[in-house]
Structure 1
Amino acid sequence: MKTIGLIGGMSWESTASYYSLLNQGVKSALGGLHSAKICLYSVDFAEIEVLQRTHQWDEAAAILIDAARRLEVAGVDFILICTNTMHKLYTEIQAAVRLPVIHIVDATATQLKQAGVDKVGLLGTRFTMEEAFYKGRMQQKYGIDLVVPNQIQRDSVHEIIYQELCLGKINELSRKVYLEVIQDLSDQGAQAIILGCTEIALLIQQEHTTIPLYDTTAIHAHHAVKMALES
């Protein structure tokens, strides 16, 4: 079994989901007392959030590159960045290490293509919904069109992530806001919705809507389990 390297802590709430999903996946595949081989480097999200908010992306990249290099020295076989937003720095992080860094968009888009989805709604942080690093890769590499919420909705989705979900707060009124946004994206032609922030699945699950949801945390973790178990 290969060892999975995790750059986590952004937030630790969603990193805990990664840890659980990876171990559940290995146990499901191998049975018995099997669990995943994992090496986790968890950053201080308070420092990262300030750098995000003030657009100090070079400084944020330096922190995550240091984390990736430490994981490489520790002997992991490949790396996951346990957050959608920080894939903005994917190119810099991948260039800094010899190991493969598994892109969350690639794992998600593969599942969407397999399901025949070619137009999808995207929820995430303001960075993920508005910038090209996520939407561009999905569109250019996989030919999948994305629909994003309007400006007011994007602000609400973003604030709920940072002010509630990253702090482990689950609010029924916020769930209602998200479900209204999801319905609006569906009305605009989205065949499914990408939960493009690793915390969103703490609030929204498939049981809450009939519109197909693609949880990037679960998809990323599932892809990592398959890689870890490949001979």
Structure 2
Amino acid sequence: MIRNVAGAVLALAGATAAVLSPFRAWYDGRHGRDYALDELFTGITEAKADLWWSLLLPFAFAALLTLVGVVLRSRLLVGLAGLVVLGFTVFWMVRVGQYEGSLTVDGGGAGLGDGVANALGGGILLLLGALVMSGRRGRKARKGPEEPRAYAAPPGGPGTGPGTSGPGPREDPVADPYGAPAGDPRESAAPGSYDPYGSEPTRTFEVPDRDRERDPGQDGPGPR
């Protein structure tokens, strides 16, 4: 937040200096508003240009870009405005140098004036403002890193989802419908050692041999 405010102040100051520079002397006391915009491409002349077709037009466009960039907190737009100001100023210096033969700086008012200094300083302030601004942060940056979500196993256990080739879920042993719990260790005992309809072991009784009860003097098999 502080960086955006400081960058916006620098950018607005640079845009103001750039817009005011055409109303100052640029070379030999001639103001920047007197140079027609098309003279930068066709050659410098002594004719006086219209106000809105002079160097004021690109600088006003740069100021508009600066305002939009500050509102949107866009470093790209503010930096582009600085490049526009510096680009047209340097282009003008090249054309004037070709027309005059050389560029001079004289404190008595001859040569380059303070209007050029304002334009160069405004462009540099715009670039500094774009560097200082932090720009707009995305939603993820404001909310912080997203916490990892816990993985939820598909219903039915592992290996049951679509496309899986592993073994399916292990089935529990079927419980005895008559009350014996599933996996009862008594199931491994010998048959007849427990009652399948209850939990108590079955009692076995020894049946006496009927041949032993026969009368020793009686012939033939005993009664059945």
TM-score (norm 1): 0.20
Greater fraction of residues in strand: 1
Which protein has the larger Cα radius of gyration, Structure 1 or Structure 2? 2
Greater fraction of residues in helix: 1
TM-score (norm 2): 0.20
